[in-house]
């Protein structure tokens, strides 16, 4: 996987994880381009888009689009499963996750992703273990109060 993007239906970025090195300007340009491409696709199309020399695999969950860019030899159908697994992890951690959870706890979303994928490859295939690692790490935080108050929206 080269990068993962999460964005809303209005095109607002909610998470960006890059596994390749690119200049900031370039990243912004790519994000704009891809968001436009995916938002303009209708329901009847497949979940795969050929883009430059990569393949984009995307899926919409409620109001959020999850998009992965994979290489030519990667398995698109499996990538859909990867995306789905990430959503399941978020759901298990937050309990019935919704977009607001990810907005207000974006750093947690990153932590969870980092327990699932490293360097663009899956590191853990067990839901239980991945989520437990994040929860155990949470326990290590010196003050739970610190900046992680779960606010009432």
Binding site for other proteins (CB under 8 A): 13-16, 18-19, 21, 23, 28, 44-50, 75-78, 80-82, 85, 103-104, 106-107, 110-111, 114, 118-119, 121-129, 133, 136-137, 140-143, 146-151, 153
Question: Between the CA of residue 64 and those of 80, 87, 88, 89, what are the distances in Å?
Answer: 15, 11, 14, 15
117 - beta bridge partners? Answer: 122
Nearest approach, Cβ of residue 73 and other proteins (Å): 8
First-residue to last-residue Cα distance in the chain: 34
Q: HSE (CB half, 13 Å, CA atoms) of 130?
A: 26
By beta-carbon proximity to other proteins, the closer residue of 96 and 121 is 121
Least separation in angstroms between CB 43 and other proteins: 10
State which residue, 63 or 104, has the beta carbon closest to other proteins: 104
CA-based diameter of the chain, in Å? 49
Least spacing, CB of residue 93 vs other proteins, in Å? 15
Q: Taking the complex as a whole, how short is the minimal distance between the CB of residue 115 and other proteins, in angstroms?
A: 8
Helices 106-116 and 76-94 pack at an angle, to 10 degrees, of 130
């Amino acid at each position: 996987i080269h990068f993962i993007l999460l964005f809303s239906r209005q095109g607002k970025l909610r998470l960006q994880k890059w596994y390749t090195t690119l200049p900031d300007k370039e990243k912004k340009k790519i994000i704009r381009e891809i968001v436009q491409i995916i938002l303009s696709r209708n329901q009847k199309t497949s979940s795969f888009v050929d883009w430059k020399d990569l393949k984009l695999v995307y899926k919409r969950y409620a109001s959020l689009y999850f998009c992965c860019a994979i290489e030519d030899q990667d398995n698109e159908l499996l990538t859909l499963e990867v995306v789905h697994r990430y959503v399941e992890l978020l759901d298990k951690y937050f309990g019935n996750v919704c977009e607001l959870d990810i907005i207000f706890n974006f750093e947690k979303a990153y932590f969870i992703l980092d327990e699932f994928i490293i360097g663009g490859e899956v590191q853990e295939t067990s839901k239980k273990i991945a989520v437990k690692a994040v929860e155990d790490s949470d326990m290590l935080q010196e003050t739970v109060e610190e900046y992680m108050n779960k606010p009432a929206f």
